[in-house]
Amino acid sequence: MRPIVLSLGEALFDCFPDRAILGGAPLNLLVHLQQLLGTHGRGILVSRVGRDELGQQVLDQLAERGVETDHVQLDDHRPTGTVQVMLSPTGEPSYAILENVAWDYIEWNGELQKLSADCAAI
């Protein structure tokens, strides 16, 4: 059986003045891990996104990178997370992390409980 690695936490977009980049530490870790594991393991992201355009982009971009999206929950009431990135005149970034977004409300359930018992790492 292929080992399972579970990453739990935020899936969001870093929003710069000219572009938005998929991010969030748990998501970034899992994308890179899945590239390393290839067909020898399963990297699974547990997160929550809004049922909105950015949420669909999260799911699409993860699928393009070979990351399972079965455990990315959809939230009907809260938006997908974003971080507004502002750059000073010298290029130094500052960040405004939007609160009360979908990933703040990841729901632990029996399916995740069972999945976590089968993981090599979380």
Written as one string, the DSSP assignment of the chain is ---EEEEES--EEEE-SS-EEEE-HHHHHHHHHHHHHGGG-EEEEEEEEESSHHHHHHHHHHHHTT-B-TTEEEESSSPPEEEEEEE-TTS-EEEEEPPS-GGGGPPP-HHHHHHHHT-SB-
Say yes or no to pLDDT of 45 above 80: yes
Confirm if 51 and 58 have CB atoms less than 8 A apart. no
- Average pLDDT in the 36-60 region? 90
Tokens of 72: 């990315």
> Model pTM?
0.89
Reported as a single tens digit per residue, the pLDDT across 62-89 is: 999 888 899 999 999 999 999 999 999 9
Reported as a single tens digit per residue, the pLDDT across 84-121 is: 999 999 989 999 999 999 999 999 999 999 988 888 88
The set of residues, in sequence order, having a beta carbon less than 8 Å from that of 118 and lying 6+ positions away, is: 4
Tokens of 121: 């790492």
CA 111/CA 58 separation, integer angstroms: 22
